[in-house]
A and B are shown apart, each in its own frame.
Chain A
């Protein structure tokens, strides 16, 4: 079993207001997480919960994890259609997530993920 990943998460551009008004968070994620599975398929194949299809933790998973564990209010301002709301920029280790595969980027221990909202006055 791989050890859990220690990650630093930053929110800015107003997003911090949804996360207890805190810009910086340190979190811990399991290295492998359940894959979204077809209902009943695992049972049909005789797989137990432990043997369920698993994938390495990626940013797509992180987004849902944040929504379920850290987000305090107004979910629609952070998540839309299975990813971040359009207008929210994501950086992984100071790099545009579009260069790293967006939601499919596999997280490593010590990674820093920054979410910046652009949806406010200039």
Chain B
């Protein structure tokens, strides 16, 4: 097949076929459309205000590395007026997280942004390695996801930021829509396609890459020669999401626009009134003050299970009943420190950041 000219500039040679549209474009045009589409996503959703302090959830992986790069580029190019920070969570997974954190430290230098690392160990007293040795490999992702969500909010509160951005891409969101359908999780189905989520007691959290294909993120990183860490979490092979991902990849191979189309379907879902009525209202956790659908938030429930040696309690009905039958929780258990959003406009606080290497 002879090399073709770029469909946009008609000048340079096309090097990439966009999955969204089948359009064949050159390197420079690709950089421009990719960045501009993210810019449009940001402006159409009115995500930021000038002066906002924004924490980028950085893991050292492809999505967060490209996100840091693109946020910095757009902030400069379009003068968003944002103060950008890198926020990283150390789950304590040997051979995975320790390596990827090295990448984040390099990112800190390359993008010249302050970096804060928060660990599960200091926050909850449990590393993922310790959790897996108690829980096994099937439900451990539940612990990690729940703990990480809280950890990001706490890290952001420490940094006194107004907003957290994460690198979730179109593929991730389409997978989540499929997973929630497969599991009948109505509450999550209604929320998972929102580009910006905010509770009364939580920091705004957005996904600027919501419409960006994973393929394009990887190509962007490749052609820009961005440095990222790329190994699967050692505990992920047994995760349920793997099924949704494999299915989605097959769908994409047959019809590339399927990913965006699934997101649009997800956005169009409307929950029936009688079903909405059965959903739980949001409240605050009695133990740590974080947002919760129940008396105790999921993280506190999981932690209690771990501390009392009944880790399955937060996961299955059966285990919960056995735990309750043992009586109330002893008062000397380790708990998560009280969570409080700093009040009012974010004053500059003195916080310990990672020293640049």
Contact = CB atoms under 8 A, between A and B. Distances in A.
B169 A105 contact: no
A122 B175 CA distance: 14
A96 B230 CA distance: 20
A40 to B, nearest CB: 33
Contacts of B62: 13, 118, 120, 122
Interface in B32-69: 59, 61-64
A122 B14 contact: no
A116 B218 contact: yes
A118 B233 contact: no
Given A121-B236, A122-B169, A99 B222 contact: no
B218 A118 contact: yes
A14 B30 CA distance: 24
Contacts of B222: 12, 91, 114, 116
B57 to A, nearest CB: 10
Interface in A89-122: 89, 91, 94-96, 98-101, 105, 114, 116-122
A4 interface: no
A119 B245 CA distance: 9
Given A118-B215, A119-B245, A105 B231 contact: no
A91 B232 CA distance: 22
B252 A86 contact: yes
B249 A121 contact: no
Q: How large is the interface on A (under 10, 10 to 19, 20 to 34, 35 or more residues)?
A: 20 to 34
Contacts, number: 75
Contacts of A114: 222
Interface string B194-224: 0000000000000000000011011100110
B178 to A, nearest CB: 15
Contacts of A14: 230-232
A118 B19 CA distance: 14
A72 to B, nearest CB: 16
B180 interface: no
A78 to B, nearest CB: 14
B135 to A, nearest CB: 20
Given A99-B15, A122-B59, A122-B217, A12 B230 contact: yes
A87 interface: yes
A99 B1 contact: yes
Interface in B1-27: 1, 3-4, 13-17, 24
A87, A120, A122: most-surrounded residue (chain B CB, <10 A): A122
A17 interface: yes
22 contacts: A14-B231, A86-B249, A86-B250, A87-B245, A95-B15, A99-B3, A99-B14, A100-B1, A101-B1, A105-B1, A117-B230, A118-B214, A119-B245, A120-B61, A120-B232, A121-B59, A121-B61, A121-B236, A122-B59, A122-B63, A122-B172, A122-B214
